[in-house]
Amino acid sequence: MDRNILELSDTALSYLTPEYRQLFRRHFELFQAAHTELYENALRDRLSAAEDAHYFRYMGQVDDALERLGRDDARRLRYISSFWMNAIEALEEIRAVSFERRRILVRRRLATLSNTTAATLASIRNGAVSLQAIPILPQN
């Protein structure tokens, strides 16, 4: 991940009380984990509802804490949170579009396959392959 945002995170956390530091550190670590999950698994779809619940489970506590923190601390932390949210959102959108595109391609390919029935299989002698049972797939 971007070294600058990690350094900004460390700096922003250094101004906080131990209680808030721990909360925001866990929150940012989960953001980083969500980003890593999406980044390293290019064939997946966007995050599921269960994954959202896991990765963003501190959002309520973080929002409450931001209301109680000083303006400068809150501004720094909101900037970092926004960075992570934008990065995750962009990756989720990329994964969702890519996943849907692959789903469409698979459906198109499946539609070109013949449905071999038991009768067709029974008509094939001695394990020989019938050329009639093998569809010719269109070239794209």
Residue-wise pLDDT for 11-48, tens only, equals 999 989 999 999 999 999 999 999 999 999 988 888 99
In a domain, 127, yes or no: no
More confident residue, 8 or 133: 8
Residue 56: pLDDT band by 50, 70, 90 thresholds?
very high
In a domain, 138, yes or no: no
In a domain, 88, yes or no: yes
In a domain, 79, yes or no: yes
Q: What percent of the chain has pLDDT over 70?
A: 85
In a domain, 80, yes or no: yes
Crossing angle of helices 18-40 and 3-14, rounded to 10°: 160
What integer pLDDT is reported at residue 98 of this predicted model?
Answer: 83
Range of the structural domain that residue 82 is part of: 3-115
Q: Total structural domains in the chain?
A: 1
CB neighbour list of residue 1: distance below 8 Å, 6 or more residues apart = 32, 35, 36
What integer pLDDT is reported at residue 37 of this predicted model?
Answer: 95
Assess whether pLDDT exceeds 90 at residue 92: yes
Which pTM was predicted? 0.70
In a domain, 126, yes or no: no
In a domain, 87, yes or no: yes
Mean pLDDT of the chain: 86
What integer pLDDT is reported at residue 88 of this predicted model?
Answer: 94
More confident residue, 127 or 21: 21
In a domain, 135, yes or no: no
Assess whether pLDDT exceeds 70 at residue 74: yes
More confident residue, 113 or 23: 23
